[in-house]
């Protein structure tokens, strides 16, 4: 089946620093990927839609200068949390939509970010 | 706007019990409906889906029927196992390209041996 990986799985960073999270589709090409944020015991909230070769589309209320998204290739999207603060601590999950099967989304295992 | 409401958890059952997790939705048009499962420490996996009214999605013994008249997509399983312990998310996609999935709040299920 289609596999999506995320790296790192866990990261701890100090307040004010930036951290990059990678999302890769391992066995399929994905022009479109999605970034979600999941708060403890809460549902997933879509943050942005990442499109290869163009700017990401951010959901209302998500700061695009805070959460930088780069979709550099058909198999890789990155989310950079800039100048992180403790309130950015969360579980970040990406998903990828296969170009050959655009009605599906496959989710990565998530990245736990803790900002101290 | 579109939304998904599912029953609050946690739900705790004994092994081999019957499971129902309720899910209702609000949407314009004809959304596709999904159940995703998240096992501890893992990402989401698609459990089953239904794309039109009266469709029944099924997988791993789980079933859900797309009921347009009641705007519901309840998840059921006749005999749960300890390995079914996870968080279950009901979700909808309001366009055919699955570009935006709206999730319910999730229901944590724990199965006692």
Q: Which residues of A touch B41 (CB under 8 A)?
A: 109
The Cα of A112 is separated from the nearest Cα of chain B by a number of Å equal to: 10
Residue scoring higher pLDDT (A15 or B94): A15
The answer to whether the Cβ–Cβ distance between B98 and A102 falls below 8 Å is yes
Q: 3-state secondary structure string, chain B?
A: CCEEEECCCCEEEECCCCEEECEEEECCCCCEEEEEEECCCCCEEEEEEECCCCCEEEECCEEEECECCCCECCEEECCCCHHHCEEEEEEEECCCCCCCEEECCCEEEEEEC
Average pLDDT over residues B15-24: 97
> E strand or H helix at A83, and its extent?
none
d(CA A50, CA A30): 10
Q: Kind of pairing, strands A4-7 and B56-59?
A: unpaired
Average pLDDT over residues A52-81: 94
B75-106: b or e for each residue (b if 16 or more CB lie within 10 Å)?
bebeebeeebbbbbbbbbbbeeebbbbbbbbb
State the pLDDT confidence band at A103, using cuts at 50, 70 and 90: confident
pLDDT for the residue A102: 75
d(CA B75, CA B99): 23
Q: Are B15 and B109 in contact (CB under 8 A)?
A: no
The Cα of B104 is separated from the nearest Cα of chain A by a number of Å equal to: 6
Weakest-pLDDT range from A82-96, B11-25, B31-45: B31-45
pLDDT for the residue B43: 79
pLDDT for the residue B98: 57
Question: Which chain A residue shows the shortest CA-CA distance from B88?
Answer: A43
Q: Which residues of B touch A95 (CB under 8 A)?
A: 44, 101
Average pLDDT over residues A39-62: 89
Percent of chain B with pLDDT strictly greater than 90: 70
Q: Which residues of B touch A44 (CB under 8 A)?
A: 44, 89, 103
The answer to whether the Cβ–Cβ distance between B43 and A6 falls below 8 Å is yes
d(CA B7, CA A72): 40
Q: Kind of pairing, strands B23-26 and A67-73?
A: unpaired
State the pLDDT confidence band at B30, using cuts at 50, 70 and 90: confident
The answer to whether the Cβ–Cβ distance between A43 and B44 falls below 8 Å is no
Flag whether residue A60 sits within 8 Å of chain B, measured between CB atoms.
no
d(CA B106, CA B39): 12
B10 cis-preceded (ω within 30 degrees of 0): yes
The Cα of A64 is separated from the nearest Cα of chain B by a number of Å equal to: 18
């Amino acid at each position: 089946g289609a596999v999506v990986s995320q790296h790192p799985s866990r990261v701890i960073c100090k307040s004010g620093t930036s951290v990059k999270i990678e999302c890769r589709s391992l066995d399929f090409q994905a022009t479109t990927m999605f970034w979600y944020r999941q708060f403890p015991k809460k549902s997933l909230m879509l943050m942005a839609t990442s499109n290869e070769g163009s700017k990401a589309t951010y959901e209302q209320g998500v700061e695009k200068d805070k959460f930088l998204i780069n979709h550099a290739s058909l198999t890789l999207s990155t989310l950079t949390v800039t100048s992180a603060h403790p309130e950015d601590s969360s579980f970040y999950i990406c998903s990828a939509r296969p170009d050959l099967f655009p009605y599906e989304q496959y989710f990565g295992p998530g990245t736990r970010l803790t900002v101290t | 706007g579109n939304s998904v409401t599912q029953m609050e958890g946690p739900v705790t059952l004994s092994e081999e019990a019957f499971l129902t997790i309720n899910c209702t939705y609000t949407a314009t048009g004809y959304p596709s409906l999904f159940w995703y499962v998240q096992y501890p420490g893992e990402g989401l996996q698609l459990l089953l889906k239904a794309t039109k009214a009266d469709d029944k999605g099924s997988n791993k013994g789980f079933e859900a029927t797309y009921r347009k008249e009641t705007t519901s997509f309840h998840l059921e399983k006749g005999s749960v196992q300890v390995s079914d312990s996870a968080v279950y998310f009901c979700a909808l996609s309001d366009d055919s390209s699955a570009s935006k999935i709206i999730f319910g709040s999730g229901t944590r299920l724990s199965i006692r041996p």
